[in-house]
Amino acid sequence: ILNVEQSPQSLHVQEGDSTNFTCSFPSSNFYALHWYRWETAKSPEALFVMTLNGDEKKKGRISATLNTKEGYSYLYIKGSQPEDSATYLCAPNNAGNMLTFGGGTRLMVKP
């Protein structure tokens, strides 16, 4: 069973602030790292799937980086908006589609 840690557990920011959170995972047997956004009363939605060390992905104001050698990924949100309020989940993929999810970072953006 993989140990996947996300920090912080929760985060309150003001609209317009930029923020970032961390996902730590074992670096052995690594194949891919997934990031999902889960808004209240909705389904988790894929943000990024990253596979290569040094990979950087960007989607609008959200970006992510990956370090597979040391086992971590950062998710950045530039100029947070209230609609960014959600729980952000990371999950390494070490065997097929068996994702091991971290506990998530709950982001709340105040207008």
Partner 1 sequence: KAGVTQTPRYLIKTRGQQVTLSCSPISGHRSVSWYQQTPGQGLQFLFEYFSETQRNKGNFPGRFSGRQFSNSRSEMNVSTLELGDSALYLCASSSLGPRVLHEKLFFGSGTQLSVL
H helices, E strands: number in the chain: 0, 11
CA-CA distances (angstroms) from residue 107 to 2, 65, 76, 91, 110?
Answer: 24, 19, 12, 17, 10
- State the minimum distance, in angstroms, from the CB of residue 77 to partner 1: 19
Q: Is there a contact between 100 and 1 (Cβ–Cβ < 8 Å)?
A: yes
**Per rule CB under 8 A, count of chain residues that contact partner 1:** 25
Of residues 65-94, which lie at the interface with partner 1 (CB under 8 A)?
89, 91, 93
- State the minimum distance, in angstroms, from the CB of residue 93 to partner 1: 5
Applying CB under 8 A, does 14 fall inside the site for partner 1?
Answer: no
- Centroid of chain to Cα 25: 12
Query: Which of 45, 69, 79, 81 forms a contact with partner 1 (CB under 8 A)?
Result: 45
- State the minimum distance, in angstroms, from the CB of residue 8 to partner 1: 15
